[in-house]
Homo-oligomer: A and B are copies of this chain.
Amino acid sequence: MKKEIKTLDTSTEEKIKEAARTVFHKKGFAATRTRDIAEEAGINLALLNYYFRSKEKLFNIIILETVTGFVQNMSMVLNDGRTTIEKKVEQIASNYIDFITKEPNIPIFMLSEMRNNASGLAEKLPIKQIVLNSIFFKQHQEAVAKGKITEPDPLHFLMNLLGLTVFPFLAKPLLQTVNGMNDAEFSKMMQERKKLIPVWIKAMMKAK
């Protein structure tokens, strides 16, 4: 048969990547053992080095994919010319709450691995372009000019939106023990926030 498209889903290489993603996301680079990944993938340890040379190289592939996926979503929304700025806020809040609900380890994984920027990751990401050249950026400028938004720096805007959206997931371990909150309750709370965050952002941005 063709060797290229031979059920890539279950190829050894893909199994290792999938396992690496799972373990790295959950435990981070330093706490992850290559043997953990091999076991999770159900493969011989040596295959990890056979396909990816080293733990570090495998990690760099995973984190680049993870961060790219995270940013891409926002990029799409920010560059949609058909939606208002209000609608963009709704979409970002809603999309990220759904996304992080499915992959709850991603925010703390990304932020903790970037803390010393060891992988030089940030340089590889065109986030600045994404924001500064975005339709959102222009819409924000217009809204400021028209006095509909008080704070002129779009950075505050995006940071507030992401903070309100992402921070609860980061604080979840605390909430669960401290507040006795279970997964269902947390999930319900985040669903509420899909509607609350756009309302809050709107109110904040008009405030002065």
Contacts and interface: CB of A to CB of B under 8 A. Distances in A.
A39 B111 CA distance: 27
Give the oligomeric copy count: 2
Contacts of A173: 111, 114-117, 122
Nearest to A179: B128
A206 interface: yes
A105 interface: yes
A108 interface: yes
Contacts of A115: 105, 108, 173
A171 B31 contact: no
A99 interface: no
Question: Is the interface on chain A under 10, 10 to 19, 20 to 34, or 35 or more residues?
Answer: 35 or more
Contact of A196 (B128, B151, B199): B151
A163 interface: yes
A156 to B, nearest CB: 7
Interface string A66-98: 000000000000000000000000000000000
A208 interface: yes
Contact of A111 (B29, B155, B171, B203): B171
A115 B169 CA distance: 10
Given A151-B196, A203-B207, A177 B122 contact: yes
With most chain B CB atoms within 10 A of its CB, the pick from A166, A173, A193, A199 is A173
Contact of A159 (B116, B171, B177, B203): B171
Minimum-distance CB pairs A-B, first 4: A163-B167, A122-B177, A203-B207, A30-B31
Interface of A: 26-31, 105, 108, 111-112, 114-117, 122-123, 125, 127-128, 131, 151, 155-156, 159-160, 162-164, 166-168, 170-171, 173-180, 189, 193, 196, 199-200, 202-204, 206-208
